[in-house]
Amino acid sequence: MNKKNILLLGFMLFSLFFGAGNLIFPPFLGMESGENFIPAIAGFISTAVFIPLLAVISVSLSNNGLLAIGQRVNPLFGLIFTIVVYLSIGAFYGIPRASSVAYELGFVQVFEVESSLTLFLFTVVFFGVTYLLSVDPKKMIDRLAQILTPALLLVLTVLFVKAFTTLNYTEKHVSEKFASAPFLSGFLEGYYTMDAIAALAFGIVIINGLKTSGVTKKKDIIRGTTYAGMIAGVGLTIVYLSLSWIGRVLTYNKPVENGAEILVLATDRLFSVGGNLLFGTIVLLACLTTCVGLINACASFFNEIFPTFSYKQYVVVFVLIGLLITNLGLNTILSIATPLLVFVYPFAIVLILLSLVQYFIGESKKMYVYSMAVTTIFAVISVLDFFNVRFEAVDSVLGIFPLYENGLGWVVPTLIVATVGYVIDLTKGKVLKNAASSTIS
C-alpha cells in the first residue's frame, strides 16, 4: 500500500465527516458542561469519533459494505435498513442540513443578506459546485484530499492558534443536562453529528479509493481502511477538543442558544475585522466537503443496487433533491432530525459492534436476529417518548435495565440476547467462520 494514498484517504475521510454538526455541537457542549467538561467531551468523542472509526472498519470487514452487514439479519431488512440510512444521511436530511448551515452560518454571516431569493441563488451555486466535485468519483478523492481538506485545516488552525494564545480559562456553571451524568449526556450529544451512521456509507468510499489505487487483497483493504480511519479520528479528536475548549473558556455578555452563536462570537472577538469571513469560510468548506461525500456515497450505492440509472444520473437526482429541500429552510429540516436519529442510531451501533465481533468469533444468524428484535423495541419506545407518548406498564418493565432513563436502555438487553443467540448457534454448529485473507473482487 502506498503511504501517501493512505494519508490522502485519511484527510478525505476527515473532511467527509467534518460537516455542519461537527462544527456546531462541540462549542455548545463545552459551554454547558462547565467543570464536568472532561467526562462530557469524552462521551461526545465516543460517539463522534470512536464509534464512527469502528463503523468504517466494520464496513471493510464486509465484502459488500453496509448492505451485506444488514443482510446478516435478513435480506429484506438489509435492503430496507441500508436505503433508510442512505436517504437519512443523504438526500432527505444530511445533504440539505449541511447546505442550509452553509447558507445561514456561512454566506449570511459574511454578506449579511438573507431572503428567499438569496437562499435559492446560493443553493444553485452551492449545488452546482457540489455537482462538479462529485460527478467524477476518481477525481473527487484528489480534489478533497489535496485541495479542500488542507484549506479547511488551514483556516481551523488559524482559529485554534489565535484562541489558545488569547483566551483564558474561567469557571463556568454546569447546566442541568451535564450535572448528574456528563459522560452519558456527551455520549448522546455525539448522536447529532450523525457520524456513526455516515461512517457506514463513507466506509465504502474509502474502500473504492483503495481499489482504485490497486489494493485488492481483503487484509490490505482492512489495514488501509483502518489507517485512514485512524488519521481521520485523530484529526476529529483534535478539532473537537479545540472547539469545545473555545466554548468552555469563552466569556459571554449575553445568553447564547447554540454552538454557531458561540463560534460567531469567538471569531468576532478574536479577529474583529475579518472574523465573520474566517468563520464563514470554515462553515462553507466543512459543509461543501460533507455534501460531496454524501452525494458520492448515495449515488454509488443506488447505482449498485438499482443500475437502471448511471452514477452521474444519480448524482444529478441527489443534487436536485438537496437543492429543493434546502429551500424549505433549516428549521424545517432540523425538525425531523431527532426522532430519526433516536430510531436509527441504536441499530447502527449494534450492527457495527456485531460486525467487529463476528470477525473474531464467526457469524451467528441468531446473534443478529435477536439483537435487532430487541433493538427495535427500544428504538420504537424512544421515538414515542420523543413525542411524549409513554406507557407506565412498559416503563416499569423495561426500567429495570441500566441507562433506560438516559435513552440507552437497549445496551444491556441487546448484549444479553446477542450472547444467547450466538451460544445457541454455536451449540448447533451453525456459526460460520470468517476468512481474513480472501481477495475482494
Q: Who's near 225: CB < 8 A, 6+ residues apart?
A: 56, 57, 59, 60, 203, 206, 207, 210
- Residue range 356-371: average pLDDT? 92
Residue-wise pLDDT for 170-197, tens only, equals 777 888 889 888 999 999 888 778 788 8
Residue 90 in contact with residue 294, Cβ under 8 Å? yes
- H/E run at residue 407: none
Here the cell at position 92 is 432527505
CA 307 – CA 400 distance, rounded (Å): 48
Q: How confident is the model at residue 366 (pLDDT cuts 50, 70, 90)?
A: very high
Q: Is 329 exposed, middle or buried (0-12, 13-18, 19+ CB in 10 A)?
A: middle
Q: Does domain 3-341 have CATH number 2.30.110.10?
A: no
Q: Give residue 145's pLDDT band: very low, low, confident or very high (50, 70, 90).
A: low
Beta bridge partners of 217: 439
Asked whether residue 28 carries a pLDDT value surpassing 80, the answer given is: yes
Q: What is the pLDDT of residue 63?
A: 66
Task: For the chain, give the percent of residues with pLDDT over 90.
Answer: 32
The residue written with cell numbers 467487529 in the block is: 356
- Band the pLDDT of 436: cuts 50, 70, 90: very low
Answer whether residue 314 shows pLDDT above 90. yes
Give 135's contacts (C-beta < 8 A, 6+ positions apart).
Answer: 312, 315
57 phi and psi angles, rounded to 5 deg: -65, -40
C-alpha cell at 5: 494514498
Residue spans of the domains in the chain: they are: 3-341
Backbone angles phi, psi at 439, to 5 degrees: -105, 135
Q: How far apart (Å, rounded) are the C-alpha atoms in residues 214 and 245?
A: 41
Concatenate the DSSP letters of all residues of 105-147 into one string: IIIHHHH----HHHHHHHHHHHHHHHHHHHS-HHHHHHHIIII
Cell of 197: 451512521
* CB 194 within 8 Å of CB 89: yes
Rg (CA), the chain: 22
Asked if 33 contacts 267 with a C-beta cutoff of 8 angstroms, the reply is: no
**Residue 118 to residue 426: CA distance in whole angstroms:** 61
| Residue bearing cell 430510531 | 343
pLDDT tens track for 224-264: 999 999 999 999 999 999 999 999 998 887 788 878 788 88
pTM: predicted TM-score of the whole model, two decimal places:
0.81
For the segment 41-52, the average pLDDT, to the nearest whole number, is: 93
Pick the closest to residue 294 from 406, 202, 397 (CA basis): 202
| Per-residue pLDDT at 334 | 67
Write down the mean pLDDT value for the chain: 86
pLDDT bin (cut points 50, 70, 90) of residue 3 is confident
Q: What's the pLDDT at 439?
A: 40
Query: Sign of the C-alpha dihedral, residues 280, 281, 283, 287?
Result: positive
Q: 60-105, pLDDT tens digit by residue?
A: 887 667 888 889 999 999 999 889 888 887 878 888 888 988 898 7
Residue 389 has pLDDT above 90, yes or no: no
